[in-house]
Amino acid sequence: MRHALLFSVFIIASCGLAYELVAGALASYLLGDSVTQFSTVIGCYLFAMGVGSWLAKYITRDLIGRFIRIELLVGLLGGFSAIGLFLVFTWLPGPFRLVLYLMVFGVGVLVGLEIPLVMRILKRELAFRELVSQVLTFDYLGALAVSILFPLILAPHLGMIRTALLFGLLNVAIALWALHLFRQHLPERRWLAGQCWAVFALLLAGFAGAGQLTTLAETAVYADDIVHAESSPYQRIVVTRWRDDLRLHLNGNLQFSSLDEYRYHEALVHPGLAGLPGAKRVLVLGGGDGLAVREILKYPQVEAVTLVDLDPAMTRLFSTAPPLVALNGRALNSPKVTVVNADALSWLETDQGFYDFVVVDFPDPANFTLGKLYSSAFYRLLEKRLAVRGRIVIQSTSPLYARQSFWCVVTTLEDVGLKTAPYHALVPSFGEWGFIIASRESYVPPAIDAGKTRFLTPQTTAALFHFPADMGRLPAEVNRLNNQVLVRYFEAEWGAVTR
């Protein structure tokens, strides 16, 4: 019995941490800024566990029956937490944060009740010193196990909804096991058994129908038909279609619309590359959709393109799915293209190549993980890999909606000794969007070959480098790894737009 209860502690700890990780990951997907979301979720959860442990002293009778009912409540609340949060975000986005923290607090209180009850049940079989040691050992081992399994197996292969439901089923399994172990001490055993099997059946039905539940939640989030959806270890990838419009969403954020993405990618590539007739080696950081590579391959002098994107699920999708391969012109399947799936900063630290043209096409600096890729430290690494007369172009968010953020990127590039040429283009799906060309030499807008573009002409290209008064330069600090000021600028400016 002692070993069975200690194993139960292992499972209980795994379940509690799993619900916490699901809540943090979902909040990051839906709200952005993973550091803030995980920090606040963990803080709320640990505080709630403390409250639960304090409340445990008021449970003075029927310890086993109360323990079983707590397991059922944890299984229900935690198991259905992911789909509940998805649906609240879809249908009632206003109170989403309140529901998120109430759910985390509720699970935390219940988990905080579990361990003290198990210790009180075990105290007749173990001395106090051994009791505390063994219970806490199994508690920490359970937390370690799920912290490893969650990013490597559970999130990418089961998804958030099935992962939460799976651990809900494990909580109910613990309740059924306790019911069996202590059957002689439970006068209302049949009633408890009925409750256990009812909750188990409900969670099992949810697990079996998780695909439909996910589709229901995401269909409500996205106005268009979902044609592809998957969770990788790094992000939630959703592709939607409405008539001829294909759209890519990462963690709920629109990345492109096929109706106007050519404006963005032409503006990203051609103003920098058109003036480099000798450019042979090109590096693309981010841009796993292959759309920037499509534009680069329009220049016959380019001999080799290295694409570095963190997520293999992205590059696999855009090199195999027929509609997406057609959109990028089979760019990722070109013999000139080498795809590397790695963290760009880590890869740059070890790469020994030199590049005539570098395209930096990362998502906006909405969190500290992305903010490091806009830092002075990152740009210094990048400058070392730049050929003598090479150029870098960087997507740099909107100079209209995130004006100080945009000019912060300019300031940071200049701080590392590069000369900058900021410019902007109108992309209907996003509004005014900003880019920066950086090099060791002064930049002169080149003559664009209209045969390569649908949007840019020699006249319109020159106009991109002129900023109206409401997008003009603002003073901004340098974005360094130790201050990440750009992330704070970005949160404040886009937060004001979305309020």
Can you tell me the distance from the alpha carbon of 176 to that of 192, in angstroms, rounded to the nearest whole number?
A: 9
> Does the pLDDT of residue 209 top 80, yes or no?
yes
Section 472-486 average pLDDT? 93
33 has catalytic annotation: no
Instruction: Pick 83 or 259 by higher pLDDT.
Output: 259
Q: Do domains 2-218 and 258-498 have the same CATH topology?
A: no
CB-based contacts of 88: which residues, under 8 Å, 6+ apart?
Answer: 95, 96, 99
β-bridge pairing 225-231 and 236-242: antiparallel
Topology, domain 258-498 = Rossmann fold (3.40.50)
Helix/strand/coil for 391: strand
Catalytic member of 351, 361, 449, 470: 361
Terminal-residue alpha carbon distance, the chain: 56
**pTM of the shown model:** 0.75
- Classify domain 2-218 by CATH number: 1.20.1250
Identify the pLDDT of residue 123: 67
CB-based contacts of 296: which residues, under 8 Å, 6+ apart?
Answer: 269, 273, 282, 284, 302, 305, 357, 359
Nearest to 312 by CA among 357, 343, 337: 343
Section 311-317 average pLDDT? 95
Q: Where are the domains of the chain?
A: 2-218, 221-255, 258-498
> Does the pLDDT of residue 438 top 70, yes or no?
yes
What does the DSSP 8-state code read for residue 445? Answer: P
Q: Can you give the three-state secondary structure of 249-280, one letter per residue?
A: EECCEEEEECCCHHHHHHHHHHHHHCCCCCCC
Question: pLDDT digits over 175-200, tens only?
Answer: 998 888 777 777 777 888 899 999 99
> Does the pLDDT of residue 282 top 70, yes or no?
yes
